Amino acid sequence: MLSHIDENNQPRMVDVGEKSPTQRSARARAVVALPDAVWDALQDGDIQSKKGPVFQTAIVAGTMAAKKTSELIPFCHPIGLDHCHITIEPNDRQELVIECETRVTHKTGVEMEALTGATVAALTVYDMCKALSHDIAIKDVQLVEKRGGKSDYGV
């Protein structure tokens, strides 16, 4: 049964009032495939655009988005994140691998925050590089691992 549907088949926020706060963490990944024009602009670990340093801006945007996940996704509980860390690494397939790691001591998990952070960082790369090419592809957005709560995943 889906946790956000009640016994009358109506949407609802999950009640976490009786749960005890525990340490919870999550890591999500988004992959951004870059066409030649964008890949060729990659130098010294970042891309400099007219809007500024792409990777640094994407890290800030992803972190801001992770902190606002409950405003974007219905029924997500507001969480004051204890930790959010985003990395952007080019790989040998002309892609950027963006990872967002989140951590909190709370009654509910931070998977959606990690997924939102990685996704918005990828969207920011697209936005800042689209003047070079619209052939940028965001793909493979996924939860890589989560710890805490009822079960661990990907550990």
- Please indicate, yes or no, if residue 12 is contained in any of the structural domains: no
Is residue 6 in a domain?
no
User: What is the per-residue pLDDT across 38-55, written as a single tens digit (0 to 9) for each?
Assistant: 999 987 777 888 888 999
State yes or no: pLDDT of 57 exceeds 70: yes
Q: 43 lies in a domain?
A: yes
Q: Which residue has the higher pLDDT, 51 or 155?
A: 51
Mean pLDDT for the chain? 91
CB of 87 within 8 A of CB of 98?
yes
User: Is the confidence at residue 147, as pLDDT, over 70?
Assistant: yes
Produce one character per residue of 63-79: b if its CB has 16 or more CB atoms within 10 Å, e if not. Answer: bebbbbbbeeeeebeeb
Distance of CA 118 to the CA centre of its chain: 2
Task: Tell me the residue range of the domain where 56 lies.
Answer: 24-147
Domain count, the chain: 1
Classify residue 17: in a domain, yes or no: no
The C-alpha atoms of residue 137 and residue 13 are separated, in whole angstroms, by 33
Among 127, 135, 140, 152, the active-site one is 127
Distance CA 153, CA 155 (A): 5
CA distance 76 to 72: 8
For 122-145, letters b (16+ CB in 10 Å) and e give bbbbbbbbeebeeebebeeeebbb
Residues 6+ apart with CB under 8 A from 27: 99, 100, 101, 102, 114, 143, 144, 145, 146, 154
The pTM for the full model equals 0.90
Whether 98 is covered by a domain: the verdict is yes
* pLDDT tens readout for residues 89-118: 999 999 999 999 999 998 888 999 999 999
Is 100 among the domain residues? Answer: yes
Say if 14 falls within a structural domain: no
What is the structure's pLDDT at 149?
A: 85
Identify whether 11 is part of a domain.
no
- Concerning whether 82 is annotated as a catalytic residue, the answer is no
Q: What is the CATH number of the domain that holds 36?
A: 3.30.70.640
Question: Predicted confidence band at 1 (pLDDT cuts at 50, 70, 90)?
Answer: low
